[in-house]
Structure 1
Amino acid sequence: MSQIPPWASEALAEVFDPCCKEKGISVVEMGLVRSVEVTDGRARVELLLTSGWCPFAARVLTEVREKIAAQPGVEDAEVEVVWDEAWTVDRLSPRAARILRFLPPPSTVRDREAYILEELS
């Protein structure tokens, strides 16, 4: 799925989309980081947004750039939002998916009452 070196995942583990900060879900766990590549000391980070209307996008991009630029061997960093791939819930880490507990589309739930009972137990 993503090409994220372990050092970059670690560096971004404390960068949060403000909507998920209180839940402790980083941009990496949200699946917002598509790739991180470094060439000749210059890092290029590709990010997806959960929504094109995200009011916090500028802050998240700045934090990502600062964290990556501060890593050994990185002299500068560029962060780009990519639009050729939509963010979907399947990008969530298993931990993030458990915390956020997205509901399935109603058309896929055959027995609503049974589903609710199962989820509450």
Structure 2
Amino acid sequence: MVTEEEVMDVLRECYDPEIPINIVDLGFVRDIEIEGDSVHIKLTLTSPGCPMYRTIGDDVRQKVLGIEGVRDVEVEFVFDTQWTPDEMSDKAKKKMGFDEKEG
């Protein structure tokens, strides 16, 4: 059975085309649910109107379907809380030029 760690590893290969940082380090991954051979991923983006949502969703779907044992992938975009740069990894913040004190 596929693990959350395997899914996260693959998601580190998915990028927002407008930002040269993977979606895990950007803090876009909200939740991963695995049930048998099905994976449901909840993602957020920098804004609800992000024009790249289809591109990102398709990339996520294709890459996760490439994991052995995965037969179905559902990508859901959620905006119940606003994404902020605070959600980025320290590595991503540094790459984007954010001062650690600024957030």
TM-score normalized with structure 2 length: 0.86
Correspondent of 2:76 among 76, 80, 83: 80
Where structure 2 has 5 or more consecutive residues not aligned to the other structure, the ranges are: none
Identity, % of aligned positions: 33
For 2:63, the equivalent position in structure 1 comes to 67
For residues 59 and 65 of structure 1, what CA distance do their matches in structure 2 show? 10
Moved over 4 A (4+): none
Any idea what the Cα deviations from partners look like across 1:59-116, whole Å, max 9, x if unmatched? 00110111112212211100000121211111101100111123649xxxxxxxxxxx
For residues 31 and 82 of structure 2, what CA distance do their matches in structure 1 show? 14
- Whether the aligned pair in 1 keeps the contact of 2:4 and 2:34 (CA below 8 Å) is no
Which structure has the bigger radius of gyration?
1
For 1:93, the equivalent position in structure 2 comes to 89
Correspondent of 1:102 among 77, 98, 101: 98
For 1:34, the equivalent position in structure 2 comes to 30
1:5 shift after superposition: 2.3
For residues 71 and 50 of structure 2, what CA distance do their matches in structure 1 show? 28
For 1:12, the equivalent position in structure 2 comes to 11
Question: Relative to total residues, which structure has the larger helix share, 1 or 2?
Answer: 1
Higher relative contact order, structure no. (Cα contacts within 8 Å, ≥ 6 residues apart): 2
Any idea what the Cα deviations from partners look like across 1:12-52, whole Å, max 9, x if unmatched? 1221001113xxx1011101111111102111000001011
